[in-house]
Amino acid sequence: MVTAFFRTLICTAALLGLSLSTATANELNHKNPYVLVQQVSELTFARFERDRQLIETNPDHLKVIVEEELMPYIDSQYSAYKVLGKFLRQTNRAQRDAFVEAFSSYLVTTYAQAFTEYTNQTVSFEPAQDFSGESIVSVGVNIIEPGRPDIKIQFKARRLKNDTWKAFDMVAEGVSLLASKQSQIAAMIRQQGIDQVTITLAEKGQSKVQPRDQKDPS
């Protein structure tokens, strides 16, 4: 089942592109996290619109868009390690690598499924802050939909060793996506072990994307 976190994330990613000029992957500002979040969102949304007919024919094409336009700018290894939490030290290198790959595949499929939730909203950005001495920043966004309270989102990004930035988490109304996933996966690991959880995530990552009108309402 697609969580509200992921639905909000992809809706926001799509929406951010509406008020921006077209950029290309080679023009992305990897050294400014505030600009990077906007530009990546723009590219993702532009691809979504350009490939709409392909998506209607084959909803799994959304996975291709996520893989090519969104995932290169998400620090999936860092996110996976954060989700593992205290269990990270209990794994060997092969287990960690397998978990990262499975978790990344799971994210791709979940993000792709969440794209089917997109409807027409608008967004506003909170002012950028000075990040010159920071290693982690939060990029604030408000999702605005008539007749409903605004949804406050923060995309968290981290500075890498080469002074570029990648996103790794989203905080919706004060609740961290990674913290939520960490709680769920920790419970699974305690019950099933890391290897079985990795298999489960990999299987979920292979799930087909279901059109919005065909999904299980539960």
User: Could you write out the DSSP letters of every residue in 145-185?
Assistant: -TTSPPEEEEEEEEE-TTS-EEEEEEEETTEEHHHHHHHHH
Helix or strand run (H / E) with residue 131: none
Position 120 confidence tier, pLDDT thresholds 50, 70, 90: low
d(CA 67, CA 109): 9
**In a domain? residue 217:** no
Position 201 confidence tier, pLDDT thresholds 50, 70, 90: very high
**In a domain? residue 38:** yes
State which residues form the domain around 23.
4-207
**In a domain? residue 188:** yes
Q: Could you give the number of structural domains in the chain?
A: 1
What CATH number corresponds to the domain at position 81?
A: 3.10.450.710
Task: Name the residue with higher pLDDT: 16 or 7.
Answer: 7
Give exposure, 158-176, as e/b (b: 16+ Cβ within 10 Å).
bbeeeebbbbbbbbbeeeb
Model pTM above 0.85: no
141, 154 Cβ separation under 8 angstroms: yes
Position 216 confidence tier, pLDDT thresholds 50, 70, 90: low
Position 117 confidence tier, pLDDT thresholds 50, 70, 90: low
- CA 161 from chain centre, in angstroms, equals 22
**In a domain? residue 218:** no
Which of 167, 163, 155 is closest to 128 using CA atoms? Answer: 155
In this predicted structure, the answer to whether residue 105 has a pLDDT above a threshold of 90 is yes
**In a domain? residue 214:** no
Instruction: Enter the tokens of residue 34.
Output: 């505030």
